[in-house]
Amino acid sequence: MEKIKYTVKIKRYNPEEDRSYWQDFEVEVEDSLTVLELLMHIKDKMDSTLTFRAFCRSAICGSCAMVINNRAGLACKIQAKDKIKRGVIKIEPLKTLKPVRDLVVDQEPAFDKLKKIKPYLEADPKIVPDNTKVESLVLPEEFARYDKQTDCILCMACYGQCNAIEGNPEYSGPFQLTKVFRFVMDTRDGMDIQERIKLAEDNGIWDCVQCQMCFAACPKGIASCEDILELRRVAKDTGEDNVATRRAKFWFETVFATGQIDKFNLPAVALNDEKGEEIRNNLAKEFTQRGISQEHFVPQPFENIKDFQKFIKKVEKEL
Amino acid sequence: MKKIGIYPGCCFQGADEHNYDIIVAFLDNMGLGNVLLDRAACCGGGVIDETNKKIVYGLNARNIALAEKEGVDLYTPCNTCYMIIAKTKLALDSDPELKDAVNKILADEGLEYKGEAKIYHTLNLIRDFVGLDEYKKRIKRQISGVKIAPYYGCHVLAPNEVAVDDPEDPTILREILEPLGVEIIEGYQNETTCCGYHAGFTSPGQKERLAIKPLEGAKEAGADIVATPCPLCHKAMDGYEEPILQVTQLINVACGMTPEETHIHINKTEVKLSL
Amino acid sequence: MKIDVLIVGAGGAGLYAALSAVKENKDLNIAVLSKVYPTRSHTGAAQGGINGALANVDPTDNEELHTFDTIKGSDYLADQEAVKYMCYEAPKIIREMEHMGVPFSRLNNGKIAQRPFGGASKDRTCYSADKMGHVMLHTLFEQCIKEGVTFLNEWFMLNLVHNGKRLVGVTAINIATGEVELIKTKAVILATGGHSRIYWGYTSNALGCTGDGTAAILRAGLPVKDMEFLQFHPTGLRKSAILVTEAARGEGGHLLNNKGERFMAKYAPDKMELGPRDLVSRSIMTEIRENRGFRDEEGREYVQLDLTHLGAEKIKKRLPQIRELAIDFEGIDPIKEPIPIKPTAHYAMGGIDTNVKCETPMEGIYAAGESQCVSVHGANRLGGNSLLDIVVFGNVAGKEAVRYAEGTDFAKGGEGKKEEEVKFIKELMNKESKETLGDMRNELGEIMFKHFGVFKNEDEMQEGYNKLKNLIERAHKNLGVEDKSKVFNLDLQSTLEFFNLLEIADVLAYASLQRKESRGTFFRDDYEKRDDENFLYHSVITRNSDGSFNYKKGEVQLGLYEPAERKY
Ligand SMILES: Cc1cc2nc3c(=O)[nH]c(=O)nc-3n(C[C@H](O)[C@H](O)[C@H](O)COP(=O)(O)OP(=O)(O)OC[C@H]3O[C@@H](n4cnc5c(N)ncnc54)[C@H](O)[C@@H]3O)c2cc1C
Ligand code: SF4
Ligand code: SF4
Ligand code: FES
């Protein structure tokens, strides 16, 4: 059995003194440990006060999310030796939640946000039978639309990495919005789609900055960022008219017409108000000052644009 | 001369037209020839998805196929274009059915996605296509006496599958900036916070709150300038107290160009480089 | 704090009990107390599926066959009427959960998909890929949110308080603050899960499957039942003992020895890999004992579970989690290579003694789930029957507890017990540790696996019991809590859990020594045959105030099927 030596740098939090500090542990351990086993080793052999949550140790209960080398993930799923960088592994509590003690954070606020989006099926009486003699029928391809999303273990790794929360603490969070998506897609759900979408909107779909960090953090490979785009699409398709849906429509239209998004007119169209007009006027002024010719204000269709348009039509229909 | 295909995204357009000059000059300074992929289309910008996600695959399979037709790899300086195109490539390469389906449609335009072209962003272009040694040789002068805070932005480090460097401990930006003779400031507050660009329309307040965070962190840590490879981060974060530049602009200066020649004077927040 | 009906445990059993209690009477004050956040509960780790004769795949299946398979699987130790009740409830309760939103895998006609499972005569196991427990637990939790169920999350139950006639309340620590509270309650449902962690290091169970409720029952002077029956699952991962679901064999996986033979042909020529768990575990251990297993560099012995012939698509679709676990914890992709496996301590058939109404002999105290022993699993549980058991009896317990609480008031007293707890914990915290918890836990696991493992015999068990007694004595003398903080003191909690494990290991070892036969999962080299004449009974054990055990023979309710030899 091979043993290796390295430093484990842990950001601890002492609640009695309300103080965060880094502590180094020098370990010499087998090279086959998970980060969780490494922490258990430290707790068992070096410092029994080191505090962290863990339960299943098999990446299914969602207890052990923490930040390992600046990235949130599950301690029990990650091999320690892959994380040694220049002799050091750095471990911290999830960043967008308050520490309770050492690596344990207060998850209640994130759970409260989950509760707010009504994270449950409201059975649709048209699909879900009112007796237990039969089940509702769901075709495999219908289930496939939200199958992945039901893998979520509420570990909050995504939440701990979410930039939208950095900018707006009220933002609901990636896994919460994935949950909305999951129910929007479930054919058995009877809650009015507008209500589901309103829940998504009130809880932040327009605040997401599409940074992809939720996807990068998720131990289950769930891309909340993409679910959020899908929710935006559903919002648009169910008649929502706002700056974002106007932007989305205009974006597609101009890309279809020229191959590129028309950024000159976009603010005016999307904002659809005086401010938008003002931005356009200012842009025009700036362009003129910089000697940009009028025809360069907006993208021009490239050669054989018709072929491109046929292509897009076909992609929409056939892919 | 080695050639690379320039992918024209929306960051070369309208008010951002000068970005095109910047990268053409940069490629020139690196001793690379280029082909402009002029029939390439918008990568979708994370917005086309709101119409139909499949279009993203179609658009970018086509963009890559255009590069392949020219026999070149594809290069974009934009973090987002890079991420979206690279993600598409990954999807196509790991899903033969999807690839076949796209290719059937691409055939109408006489195109084929083969999966041969690599996708480059400025950072991995310098490291893997130019080579760091060659890169260093091409630097003509030192920009000394300035403290620079590297800022990667998100989409070159996430998702992990397309990250241009170890997302947990990236060093590539430092390795690129160091040879310019600048002093590097790392580990500042909010170094990895998103610039907020993509919330610019959907939630302007959100964009404002985010954009300023890394800038303030860098300033507090004593940096004179923040340097990002990404034209969108640049656009989102320019105009606050702490100035921000694109890495390619600094490289161009170190390769002998004047700040004006590489459009540093267009910055909203003024930048002074003592040369 | 006062709560009409308190449910301790937020796994499948606890959450189902909560839902049924709330639906039964919304006006009562009903709460769920759990040491971990509900969705962390071990039910979430269940992979393979839940049994019910829906007959979606095989139209010839029915409740009666399910009943028979379960009784046969139990080696005739199960109470037959109870089994019948569970199996006839199964299709209804599974559909009920489907209506709540459980995302089951589906057949092409849209009905719930079912797969073959060990010991079942038909394709009866409903599933959601290989994460059945996970989606069930989360759906039940979602419905609890919908119904506005109150949760006391990250509270650790210490003990039951009763006055000899009926329940008074429970004592518990709020982990976040370290405060001990007496929670007065009219009725309590113990849904605290299993105790396979007594095989520390050799178990598929979560770190917290420490039988806290069962140990509390013993301390309260109440009976536990059939404790000698603890199931070894045939396929645990070699290094971590993490489970590889039976569904891997249900989907067609092969077990191979070092000669590349499908050795199950020798032991269960008909059912092959889909023989019942007890039989397959013994077969694997026999192969290993007779040098037909593999041995790795670290000396770990194992056999192989080969899925490669199933093909990438089937593995990715039906067993995605298994693939992930094998990659993460063994570094092996089952699409390309066989998985190294060995038996792992998995499921406690024994537990808190209750009747079919989930009542213990003490008024106001109920139990449900893995912590409970009705018994419906007898000497060996069939795969897919536990997820069923926990919801069927969770449902019963919820209703019964509400009915009881409706007709009664809070009992008086109990404050003294709280003081006792505070004093006990204080002493523990002030004590200097002479040994470490980590070492002692490992020692416990070693003793149990070696002496009370897949194969047992008198000498081995006697030796093991002596070692165990010694460990228990040392633990009480030498073990203190080094962490002195009040906030989130998991060192204290783990120590208390360890004392519970010792309590349970003790009674399990004792019960094992009394049973001089082999039945189901309980197998002795020195008594290889089942002995219905002398041992067709439930062992019912209470602890006397002097620490000794009181052992009684409980009647097994037959009536439907006469005990017969089990063949597969
Ligand atoms: C890896 C694995 C796979 C399995 N697969 C299957 C399968 O495919 N099919 C099947 O039918 N069965 C399966 N089983 C068995 C089945 O999952 C369990 O028996 C069942 O889930 C137990 O449910 P439960 O509600 O009784 O207990 P648990 O889910 O274990 O819940 C116990 C609850 O009690 C709480 N608790 C415990 N002690 C205390 C305390 N002192 N204070 C406060 N709260 C406390 C815990 O917090 C938890 O909420 C599997 C088991 C394992 C280990
Ligand atoms: S993509 Fe959106 S939801 Fe995901 S981490 Fe970034 S801001 Fe948060
Ligand atoms: S989406 Fe992924 S990272 Fe986020 S809570 Fe769910 S499982 Fe965890
Ligand atoms: S311990 Fe359960 S997810 Fe890590």
DSSP string, C125-137: EE-STT-HHHHHH
Query: How would you classify the pairing of strands C339-348 and C301-306?
Result: antiparallel
Taking the C-alpha atoms of residue A48 and residue C480, their distance in angstroms, rounded to an integer, is 11
Task: Read off the tokens for C14.
Answer: 């606890």
Whether the CB of A129 is below 8 Å from some CB of chain C: the reply is: yes
Task: Read off the tokens for A118.
Answer: 């009504």
The CATH number of residue B245's host domain is 3.40.50.11810
Helix axes A193-202 and A224-237, enclosed angle (nearest 10): 130
CA distance C102 to chain A (A): 9
Picking from B120, B154, B187, the residue at the C-terminal end of a domain is B120
CB contact under 8 A, B198 and A304: no
Picking from B67, B85, B120, the residue at the C-terminal end of a domain is B120
Within a domain: residue B46? yes
Residue C7 burial (CB count, 10 A): 34
Question: Which of C100, C481, C487 is opposite residue A121, by nearest beta carbon?
Answer: C100
Q: List all residues 6 or more positions away from B106 whose beta carbon is below 8 Å from its beta carbon.
A: A311, B61, B62, B65, B112, B113
CB contact under 8 A, C242 and A57: yes
Residue pairs spanning A and B at CB distance below 8 A:
203
Residue B116 burial (CB count, 10 A): 11
Summarised one tens digit per residue, pLDDT across range B167-200 is: 999 999 999 999 999 999 999 999 999 999 999 9
Which residues from chain A sit within 8 angstroms of residue C91, using beta carbons?
132
Residues having CB closer than 6 A to ligand 2 are A 161-164, 174, 208-214, 224-225, 228
* A12: β partners: A21
Handedness of CA A183, A185, A188, A193 (dihedral sign): positive
The pLDDT score that the predictor gives to residue A293 is: 83
Residue C139 burial (CB count, 10 A): 21
Active-site hit among C40, C277, C441, C519: C277
Closest residue, chain A, to C242 (C-alpha)? A58
Picking from B120, B153, B174, the residue at the C-terminal end of a domain is B120
Task: Read off the tokens for C64.
Answer: 């009666």
Question: Between chain A and chain B, are at least 3 CB pairs below 8 A?
Answer: yes
- Residue to mutate among C395, C483, C490, with most A CBs inside 10 A, is C490
The residue whose C-alpha atom lies closest to atom 3 belonging to ligand 3 is A218
Closest residue by Cα to residue C357 from C392, C406, C384: C392
The answer on pLDDT for B125 being more than 90 is yes
Whether the CB of A252 is below 8 Å from some CB of chain B: the reply is: yes
From chain A residues 48-87, the ones with a CB under 8 A of any chain C CB are 48-49, 51-63, 77, 79
pLDDT by residue for chain A (319 residues), tens only, comes to 689 999 999 999 999 999 999 999 999 999 889 999 999 999 999 999 999 999 999 999 999 999 999 999 999 999 999 999 999 999 999 999 999 999 999 999 999 999 999 999 999 999 999 999 999 999 999 999 999 999 999 999 999 999 999 999 999 999 999 999 999 999 999 999 999 999 999 999 999 999 999 999 999 999 999 999 999 999 999 999 999 999 999 999 999 999 999 999 999 999 999 999 999 999 999 888 888 888 888 999 998 999 999 999 999 998 8
Task: Catalogue all structural domains in chain A, each as residue range(s) with its CATH number.
Answer: 3-104 (3.10.20.30), 107-318 (1.10.1060.10)
Taking the C-alpha atoms of residue C25 and residue C42, their distance in angstroms, rounded to an integer, is 28
The pLDDT score that the predictor gives to residue A1 is: 63
CA distance A134 to chain B (A): 36
CA distance C547 to chain A (A): 30
Within a domain: residue B168? yes
Q: Mention the CATH class of domain C236-343.
A: alpha beta
Are residues B108 and B156 part of one domain? no
Whether the CB of C327 is below 8 Å from some CB of chain A: the reply is: no
Q: List all residues 6 or more positions away from B107 whose beta carbon is below 8 Å from its beta carbon.
A: none
CA distance B269 to chain A (A): 16
Q: Which regions of chain C are under pLDDT 70? A: none
Are residues B76 and B154 part of one domain? no
The pLDDT score that the predictor gives to residue A295 is: 83
Residue that wins the pLDDT comparison between B1 and A235: A235
Which residues from chain A sit within 8 angstroms of residue B170, using beta carbons?
none
The residue whose C-alpha atom lies closest to atom 12 belonging to ligand 1 is C386
* B35: β partners: B5
Q: Give residue B100's domain range.
A: 3-120
SS3 label, residue A183? helix
Place of tokens 């930040």: A67
Are residues B168 and B99 part of one domain? no
Place of tokens 């994380």: A83
Q: Is the ipTM of this complex over 0.90?
A: yes
CB contact under 8 A, A123 and C138: no
CB contact under 8 A, B198 and A209: yes
Closest residue, chain A, to C46 (C-alpha)? A60
Which residues from chain C sit within 8 angstroms of residue A16, using beta carbons?
485, 487
> Is there a catalytic annotation at residue C519?
no
Are residues B248 and B154 part of one domain? yes
Closest residue, chain C, to A119 (C-alpha)? C142
Are residues B168 and B211 part of one domain? yes
Q: How far is the CA of C109 from the centre of ligand 4 (A)?
A: 36
Which residues from chain A sit within 8 angstroms of residue C110, using beta carbons?
137-139
Which residues from chain C sit within 8 angstroms of residue A109, using beta carbons?
none
SS3 label, residue A274? helix
Are residues B147 and B244 part of one domain? yes
Whether the CB of A46 is below 8 Å from some CB of chain C: the reply is: no
DSSP string, chain B: --EEEEP--GGGSGGGTHHHHHHHHHHHHTT-EEEE-TT-----TTTGGGT-HHHHHHHHHHHHHHHHHHT--EE---HHHHHHHHHHHHHHHH-HHHHHHHHHHHGGGT----S-S-EE-HHHIIIIIIIHHHHHHH--S--TT-EEEE---STTTSSGGG-SS-TTS--HHHHHHGGGTPEE--S-TTTT----GGGTTT-HHHHHHHHHHHHHHHHHTT-SEEEES-HHHHHHHTTSSS-EEEHHHHHHHHTT--TTTTTGGG-SS------
Find out whether C383 and C119 touch, Cβ atoms under 8 Å. yes
CB-ligand 4 contact for A252 (6 Å cutoff): no
Are residues B111 and B184 part of one domain? no
Closest residue, chain A, to B233 (C-alpha)? A211
Measured from the CA of A174, which atom of ligand 2 is nearest? Answer: 3
Q: How far is the CA of B139 from the centre of ligand 4 (A)?
A: 50
The residue whose C-alpha atom lies closest to atom 6 belonging to ligand 1 is C46
Q: For the purposes of burial, counting CB atoms within 10 Å of the CB of C473, is it exposed (0-12), middle (13-18) or buried (19 or more)? A: exposed
Find out whether C382 and C120 touch, Cβ atoms under 8 Å. yes
Closest residue by Cα to residue C418 from C208, C174, C248, C86: C174
Which residues from chain A sit within 8 angstroms of residue C490, using beta carbons?
51-53
Measured from the CA of C210, which atom of ligand 1 is nearest? Answer: 38
Radius of gyration of chain C (CA): 22
- Residue to mutate among A120, A141, A142, A180, with most C CBs inside 10 A, is A120
Of A53, A74, A107, the one to substitute when testing ligand 4's pocket (max ligand atoms within 8 A of C-beta) is: A74
Closest residue, chain B, to A298 (C-alpha)? B14
* C112: β partners: C106
The CATH number of residue B63's host domain is 1.20.1050.140
Q: Any idea which ligand is nearest the CA of C170?
A: 1
Within a domain: residue B171? yes
Whether the CB of A240 is below 8 Å from some CB of chain B: the reply is: no
The pLDDT score that the predictor gives to residue B14 is: 80
CA distance C204 to chain A (A): 9
Are residues B116 and B11 part of one domain? yes
Sequence spans of domains, chain C: 236-343, 424-554
CB-ligand 1 contact for C275 (6 Å cutoff): no
CB-ligand 1 contact for C495 (6 Å cutoff): no
Total domains in chain B come to 2
The pLDDT score that the predictor gives to residue C121 is: 94
Question: Which of A167, A210, A264 is opposite residue B46, by nearest beta carbon?
Answer: A210
Whether the CB of A115 is below 8 Å from some CB of chain C: the reply is: yes
CATH code assigned to C424-554: 1.20.58.100
Peptide bond into A293 cis (omega under 30): no
